[in-house]
């Protein structure tokens, strides 16, 4: 039995717990949060025997094998570093750290300790995203000519909306690029097999002063009339990026969290010599395939029609679409299969600390580009 300690019981912590409850041969022993009452409520809801407010209690527990790091960004590095020093396996939320140098240290130490690592780039684990990656790898679209996409949300569209991600001390040098941008660029690199080589980024703060509640607010929580204080926003709520992939393949990406009516509208498109692909999170069980000389197609999520390597992720019969919780579950199952089998067993690449480090290199280039107002190369 693999024993788990989870740190951070805000929005994403329970998402982890939901997925972990569906995996055989593991158990969550302790949950931790600086908000002890929140940790206690979470433990009671998920029938977890222990809770605490000091993450070092979990780190120092010899009965715990794996750490799930679901804390805010500024705690990713110290928690993960402490866990690695105790030779525990770690599955972390992104970004891997707040500084590129810190991410480098974590990758190096994880390799030295010989532990299994993972980063929750869960969107690549939708069955049809996996299927698209296999099609590109097999050469079905021919050479990739260009890529484009968007990610629009509205949960920060009002001046009374607030999240810790807007605070530089908690989030780092970026909000959108570090959060949903890292997911999107992971999708593009995973599916095309190409690396982002250079970027031209434009960030904007659209609501410069917000009302910050004096109580703790969880991600996506609806905030009503509250006891608030004015909060000056330092980080971006809008991001637009021109970029080039390996071999000069051009691309564009635009994201904002202030788009009224857009809840989590995620899309990416890949245009090749022979055909094109498009996938939208709102219709995650559909893969659009476009042609010049014949009618376009829509591939419905279907294990009977997918490649053998991706069919395992489509765990329900066709017509029974999977969702976000299932994508997280697919990633976690691959992570724990490696621990159980003591070797990499997945036919496709899974996101490790190296993946998280690579994404931070892209983020660093975007921040540098925004500051210098010119193209910046990604330092591979």
Rg (CA), the chain: 20
Residue 240's φ and ψ, nearest 5 degrees, are: -125, 135
What pTM was estimated for this model as a whole?
A: 0.94
Residue 346 is predicted with a pLDDT of: 65
**What is the total residue count of the chain?**
380
Residue 349 is predicted with a pLDDT of: 84
Could you give the C-alpha distances from 278 to 12, 38, 144, 295, in angstroms and in order? Answer: 27, 40, 13, 15
* Owner of token pair 């202030």: 258
Residue 20 is predicted with a pLDDT of: 98
Residue 215 is predicted with a pLDDT of: 74
Residue 218 is predicted with a pLDDT of: 64
Pairing status of strand 117-119 against strand 89-92: parallel
Query: Which domains are present in the chain?
Result: 2-115 (3.40.50.720), 124-372 (3.30.360.10)
Per-residue tens of pLDDT for the chain, all 380 residues:
999 999 999 999 999 999 999 999 999 999 999 999 999 999 999 999 999 999 999 999 999 999 999 999 999 999 999 999 999 999 999 999 999 999 999 999 999 999 999 999 999 999 999 999 999 999 999 999 999 999 999 999 999 999 999 999 999 999 999 999 999 999 999 999 999 999 999 999 999 999 998 877 766 666 665 688 999 999 999 999 999 999 999 999 999 999 999 999 999 999 999 999 999 999 999 999 999 999 999 999 999 999 999 999 999 999 998 999 999 999 999 999 999 998 876 656 899 999 999 999 999 999 999 999 999 999 99
Q: Would you say the C-alpha torsion 100, 102, 108, 114 has a positive or negative sign?
A: negative
Residue 20 neighbours by CB under 8 Å, 6+ apart: 4, 6, 26, 28, 68, 332
Q: What is the C-alpha separation between 345 and 342, in angstroms, rounded?
A: 9
With beta carbons less than 8 A apart as the criterion, state whether 331 and 122 touch: yes
């Amino acid at each position: 039995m693999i024993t788990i300690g989870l740190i951070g019981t805000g929005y994403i912590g329970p998402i982890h717990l939901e997925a972990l409850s569906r995996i055989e041969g593991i158990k969550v022993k302790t949950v931790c949060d600086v908000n002890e009452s929140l940790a206690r409520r979470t433990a009671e809801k998920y029938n977890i025997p222990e809770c605490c407010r000091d993450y070092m209690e979990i780190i120092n527990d010899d009965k715990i094998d794996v750490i799930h790091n679901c804390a805010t960004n500024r705690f990713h590095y110290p928690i993960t570093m402490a866990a690695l020093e105790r030779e525990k396996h770690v599955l972390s939320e992104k970004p891997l750290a707040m500084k590129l140098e810190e991410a480098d240290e974590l990758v190096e130490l994880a390799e030295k300790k010989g532990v299994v690592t993972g980063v929750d780039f869960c969107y690549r684990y939708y069955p049809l995203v996996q299927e698209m990656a296999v099609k590109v790898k097999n050469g079905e679209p021919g050479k990739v000519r260009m890529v484009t996409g968007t990610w629009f949300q509205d949960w920060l569209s009002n001046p009374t909306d607030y999240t810790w991600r807007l605070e530089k001390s908690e989030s780092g040098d970026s909000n959108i690029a570090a959060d949903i941008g890292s997911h999107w660029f992971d999708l593009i690199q995973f599916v095309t097999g190409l690396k982002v080589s250079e970027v031209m980024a434009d960030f904007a703060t659209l609501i410069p002063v917000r009302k910050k509640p004096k109580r703790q607010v969880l991600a996506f929580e609806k905030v009503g009339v509250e006891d608030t204080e004015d909060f000056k926003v330092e980080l971006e709520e809008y991001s637009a990026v021109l970029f080039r992939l390996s071999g000069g393949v051009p691309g564009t990406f635009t994201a904002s969290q202030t788009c009224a009516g857009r809840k989590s509208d995620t899309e990416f498109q890949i245009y090749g010599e022979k055909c094109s692909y498009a996938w939208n999170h709102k219709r995650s069980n559909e893969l659009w395939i476009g042609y010049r000389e014949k009618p376009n197609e829509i591939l419905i999520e279907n294990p009977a029609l997918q490649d053998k390597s991706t069919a395992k992720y489509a765990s329900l019969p066709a017509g029974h679409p999977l969702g976000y919780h299932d994508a997280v579950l697919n990633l976690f199952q691959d992570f724990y299969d490696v621990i159980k089998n003591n070797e990499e067993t997945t036919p496709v690449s899974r996101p490790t600390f190296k993946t998280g480090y690579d994404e931070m290199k892209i983020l660093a280039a975007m921040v540098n580009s925004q500051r210098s107002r010119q193209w910046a190369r990604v330092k591979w």
